[in-house]
Amino acid sequence: MQRIIIFGILCASLGMSAQSEPRYYTDSDVRQRLVNFNVYAQPSTIFRRIGTDLNGVRPEVNDRFLSRLNVESGFSADVHLRPLYLGIGVGQTWINYAHALSDDVVQETKARYWSIPFRAGLVTQLSDEVSLEVWPTITYRRAIRFQQSGVNGLVDAPHAPSFWTAGIQVGGNMAITEYLSYSLMGMMDYGFGDLEEGTINRAYAELPLFVGVRMGLRLSL
């Protein structure tokens, strides 16, 4: 009877030691994330940079620019082409700002655009759950509506039909489940054209600068 008990204990201990041995994987055994699908919201504020003339001279400005809350939301997809992720999306951007004119009148501007962002991502995996990411971006925006306040309230105003921005998004991504994760990034976008192109209110160019955060959910397959 004692021999049977001793034999059982030895078998159990051998089984436990076998289970505790490390298991090694080859690259082909590790599941690769090939495509990401993202939904995002991007609150930001807007600043202006006054364009200079051909000699680099900055014109005199007699108004004050007032920042307002701006929002962009949309959907994007990224494809993993080592070592980069390449992505494209579609969404809408709501842009709001104002000018305090020299006669103390505040002129509000409210506009809405289609947005098509293109981006390339550098992703560093810090752990199984957390990654550090840097995404340079180029975004095309097409005007849907552009209105400014006047005597009769908000009315359609002269504007550029479209404009481009270039920027960067830097932040992290944290896994919620095996497939779903949450991302939070700081973002900055610099515009290459005046939103009020063709306006008769001023002779100089205003180039927009957007600063904010990008929040979203990501499905990785």
Residues (pLDDT < 70) of the chain are 1-33, 53-54, 198-201
Tell me which amino acid residue 118 is.
F
Would you state the pLDDT for residue 30? 44
User: What's the rounded Cα separation, in Å, for the pair 82 and 79?
Assistant: 9
C-beta atoms surrounding 152 within 10 Å:
6
Q: Are 164 and 191 in contact (CB under 8 A)?
A: yes
Residues with Cβ < 8 Å from 59, sequence gap 6 or more? 50, 52, 53, 203, 204
Phi, psi of 27, deg, nearest 5:
-60, -35
Q: Are 186 and 171 in contact (CB under 8 A)?
A: yes
Q: List the domains of the chain with CATH numbers.
A: 28-220 (2.40.160.20)
